Each structure stands twice: as structure tokens, then as C-alpha cells.
A and B are shown apart, each in its own frame.
Chain A
Amino acid sequence: MNQWLDERLHISRLNDKFLRKAFPVHHSFFLGEITLFSLIVLIITGILLALSYEPSNSLVVNSFDPGTADKVNYIPAAYHSALKINAMPFGDMLRRVHHWMANIMVAAAVIHMMRIYFTGAFKKPREINWWIGMLLLIFAALTAVTGYILPYDNYAYQTVGVVYAITKSVPWVGDWASQAAFAGQFPGAGIIPRIYGYHIMLLPGILLALTGAHLLIMIKQKHTQPQYAKRLAYKKIVGVPLLTQQTPIMLLLALLFTGIVLLFAAFIPVHPVEVFGAPSSTPIPNIKPDWYLLWVFGALAIIPSFDFQILGGTIGAEFVGAMVFPGIVIGLMFAVPMLDISKENNYYAENPTDHPVRLAAGTAFMAFMLTLSLAGYKPDLIQGGVLTTANANAVLWILVFVVPALTYFATVGIVRLIRALREADERDAAAHSAQLSHSAADD
């Protein structure tokens, strides 16, 4: 069969160029693969869900609870179809798998990025792939947000209201942009078809195109090599080829991973649309976004109110908290490859402890995001009696700055300790071997 294919498709050339790609043998290199597998499962489950979903916010009679003749129970068609999906065999399971996979995809992507950052794999020549990765992260988050608006229960309704408000808060163009993006003033008659279009066509298309570019560049540039490769064969590519060694490992990992996610989708329910109910004017207490947007939510919760006019545009707390501030944070992450000014190409994954400032800056950044996420729990902290309404903002603001600073210095201190111990070990080993050779010479 190989020969038959080769005569027609020149498989051997493809084999030499792509299928022999060497994969480094280290478990941290599987994080990107897990992100990819999640995307594939998301697309498969997404297609299955789209087959039974009705993208419309027109009101229909709730077939599960039709009400009475003089008081008919109308609900949006999208919400009705979500209820129907839950009622079909394995329908609820399908929604849960889709939901969990989305969360895991973002989580795996974030940990993958942490690996890249801490080992210096973003350095020349891989800057472009860091930027594409950042775009992937942003578009993945946007896809997730549009995704959880689609069931159009009360939770989704309140969420899309906030997303609309954030778009609207942009000075000068916000009004036009929000109405163009969400099909008229909130909640426009066409809001669900519009978001459905984004979620199943536009955003997955962008994600797939970016993923393709990400992988092609990775194949062209090769992985960074783990440290042992330096000792084994300097400046040579070390690893197992895609065909036939890496492929079975990948398949095993993909199937095992999918199996595990299916297993806990079976036992851990997510987003019960029946509990939240149809869109209504009753707010949901303690409503929160998904964990990867909690830091923006936290920033909005502690930013004080302000509002000023500039050249006819209004700049308010909403715009600064939800657009300018995340813009700065994401801009910083985009700028990471600029921090390295070396002209040399980087072949090897670096030991994080050899770069204490980069390591400490990274952990401080993570501490910053975590503290802001904690600020997202402000109402719960007040309700639980940990903080009071009067001191909550002050305490949280102090924590937002103090915790990252402490993390930075603690990390630098720990790295110094590790290096001191390591050097002492090396001195010991050197002295020991000198002694050994000395005594050997004596004999």
C-alpha cells in the first residue's frame, strides 16, 4: 500500500519532510498536544450539539411546562432547544463534555504557555509562534464566552448584557460597535443568531487557521531541545519521530485524555440551565465569569467609579477596567519575546533557576492574576465576614500590589538558595573526585 500511495502522492517526500519530525522526549511537551486534542474533541462535540440546537431568541411555548391557556409559558427557542438537548439520550453528557473540554483547553494552553515562558522557548527564532499562541489564547477565550451565551438561560442573558455593556463602553465608537456586534440594542431580536454565527463559524475558523499556522511553524522551526540533548548530541535534533514512534503515544494520550474527561463529565454536572431558568429581570446572586476571565471581573469589582468626557467621548470605569487594563496585561504578555535581545538562536530549553529575574517576574505575574481573581470574590468575602464593605476595596487593592511583590522577592530568594546548594554540591563532588584521584595516584 505504501508503494501504491507513494507512486501517486509521493508520500516518501512528505515522510522525509514532515512525518519524520522529531519530538522531544519530556512530559512537559505534551501540554500543547492536550490543547490540540481538546480543540478536536470540542469541534466534534460542537458539531453534534449544533445538530440539535436552535439558534433563535424568538419566544416559543415551553413544551416541558406549557402553562395554562390564559397564561402560556413562553421561553426563547434557544433555551428551549438547550432543555431538549438535556432531555435527549446522552444530551446533557454531550454538553458537559463540550463545557469541560473548553475549560481544559484554556487551562492546558495556559500551562503550555507557562512552560514556554519559564524555559525561554519564546526566544529567537520562536517569537512569531509566541504571538500566534497569544492570539490563540485570546480567540479561545472569546469562543468560550460566545459559547456560554448560546443556551440563553438567565445566566447567559445576564452575561451577554455585561459583554454588551463592555463593548458599549468604548469611547466614540462603542454605541455603533455594540449594536453592530450584537444585532441591535440589547437584547436585539437577532442576538442569538448573531452569536451562533460567531461561535460556530467565525471563531472556530480563526482558531483552526491559527492552530494550523502554529503547528506548521513549530514543524519548520523544530521544538526546543531538552537539556539532556545538549550533553547527548550538541546542536543535533534528539527525539522520537512522529511516524511511527510519537503517533501511538499521541493516540494513546488523546484517547486516555478523552476517556478521563468523559468520565468526570459523567459525574460532575456543569451549568444546569434548568436551575438558572429562562432570561428574566431577576439577577443571579454571585454571578461570575469562567476562571480565566475572573481577573478582569476582579479588577472591575474593585475599581472605583469615575467618568469623564474627552472630545465628546465618555471614558468610564467600565472601559478602563474591562478594556484598557486587560489591554495592558495582554500587551505585556505579547511583549515577552522583546525582553530577550540576544541575536543568537535558542536551541535548548533553559533551566528556570538560571534566569531568576524572568522566573520571579513570571511567578509575580501569576500571583497578580490570582489576587485579582480573589478580588472577584469580593461580595462573597463580605458575605462570609472576612472583609467589610468599608475596608474591602482598600484591603484588596493592597493585596493586589503586595502579594506579587512578596512573590517576586520570595522567588528570587528561593532561587538563590537552590543555586547556593547546587554550587555547594558541585564543590563537594569536585573535592571528592579530586580526593579519589589523589588516593588512586598514591596506590
Chain B
Amino acid sequence: MTRYKKQDPELTRRKFINAAMGGAAAIGTLSLISTLGGAKPVFRLTPALAPPMEGDVLVHADPSRYGEPVKVSDLGLQLVRAWPQGKDKNGSPVIRDQDPTSVLAIFKYPAGQIQAPTNMEGTIDGQIVAYGDRCQHAGCNVGNNDQKPGLMNCPCHSGQYDPKLGGKVIGGPPPAPLAQLPIKLDGDKIVATGFFLSKPYGFNTEDDWTKYTAQVKELLS
């Protein structure tokens, strides 16, 4: 007969080691994840990164004529690729070519061909129309349709658009029409009269786009 009963310790060695390992793993993983915070850099809006906006002059994007203002005589059924040119704080011109979303495609059609849902006020005489040239599907630059002049074809996943009908999707996987840029003629230069009328590639909803344009206005005015 023993006077002392062997008592289990409150914490067995096994339990302690398991809890300690679990705790160390949790803390270690969390601290490693925190280093991922440095992976995503902060976005700072500069004039060169801004989207096309009111008063921007459209200039050629083609390397051979880079920076020359686009003239009406350059335009036709084959698209002309252009960048918006705005002004920085000191008033010197700056081509907004740092964000690929800003690149534009400009077409000129015979009168009467451009129809709704194109915004007719955003065109020049119902003949010249400009769109954001990044495909709404994966953001590739959209080119000409080689078979049918005046239509657009994305080389990446076969997205097809009709610029005469507001950049409507007429084939392939893109989820939304191309974003139209309202333009007017100022002397012999083509000038934007506002932001894209609908969301360009890279924004999930129209709401995100309106919020972004409000932010751009505030930061760059």
C-alpha cells in the first residue's frame, strides 16, 4: 500500500513539445508572410502615368513618327496608334506613355458609318473616333483586322471589335467593348475632351473607373 498516488503532471512533455512547435510554426509563418508586404510597391501617379484626359493632344505612337501630333490626313480605315500628350506641373509637354492603358487607336470612316452605341458627340463630325487600344480581355494591344478593313482583331486570344459600333465585341472572349475617348478638332490637332467614356482595360467595374478618374483629377489639377 502506498501513501503517495502518482499524479499525471498537468502538462505532459509530448503536449508541451507539440504546443511549442505549433506556436513556433505560427509565429514563424506570420513573420515570413509579413516580409511579403514589401512585394507590392506603392503606386504614385505622375503625369506620364495618367490616363488620357481633357485637353490632351493625341500624338503618334509609331516609333517612326513618335511624338508628332496626329493629323486628320493621317487617318483612315487602318488604325493609327496614338498616345495622349498633356502637360506637367511646369507646363512643359509630357507624353503619357508610361501606362499602356493610355494607348489609343484612331479611325476615320466615311460619313454615316459610325452609329450608336458610339457616343456621337465624342466623335469628330461622326467620322473620326478614338478608342483605348488595350483589349478588354488580357490587355494586349489590338490591331487591324486584316480581312475586313475598319474592324479590329486582338492577336492574343482572337478578340474582335467593331469601332463603328462603339467598340462592340463581335467575337472572341473579351467581356466588354473598347473604351471610347471623346475627341474634338482644335485647329489641325486632335484633342481629348474628357476621360474614357467607359472603363478601359484593367478596371473591374465602371464604379472603379469613375473613382479613379476623380482621383486623377484631384491629384493632377
Contact = CB atoms under 8 A, between A and B. Distances in A.
B146 interface: yes
Contacts of B143: 282-283, 285
A158 B156 contact: yes
Interface in A311-325: 314, 316-318, 321
Chain A contact-residue range equals: 35 or more
Interface in A176-191: 176, 179-181, 183-190
Given A179-B40, A300-B157, A162 B138 contact: yes
A307 B204 CA distance: 10
A179 B37 CA distance: 11
A317 B156 CA distance: 14
A179 B204 CA distance: 15
Given A283-B155, A379-B158, A389-B171, A318 B137 contact: yes
B160 A314 contact: no
A357 interface: no
What 9 pairs between A and B have smallest CB-CB spacing? A165-B138, A307-B175, A283-B141, A180-B40, A180-B39, A317-B173, A300-B157, A281-B103, A283-B143
Interface residues of B, number: 42
B2 interface: no
Contacts of B153: 379
Interface in A291-349: 297, 300-301, 303-307, 314, 316-318, 321
A57 to B, nearest CB: 12
Contact of A282 (B36, B81, B83): B81
Interface of B is mostly: loop
A162 B41 contact: no
B138 A166 contact: yes
30 contacts: A71-B66, A158-B140, A161-B138, A162-B139, A166-B138, A175-B204, A183-B39, A183-B40, A184-B41, A184-B43, A185-B202, A186-B139, A281-B61, A281-B103, A282-B61, A282-B141, A285-B155, A286-B155, A287-B155, A287-B156, A300-B137, A300-B157, A301-B172, A301-B173, A304-B173, A307-B176, A314-B204, A382-B147, A389-B147, A389-B160
B107 to A, nearest CB: 16
Contact of B175 (A166, A316, A389): A316
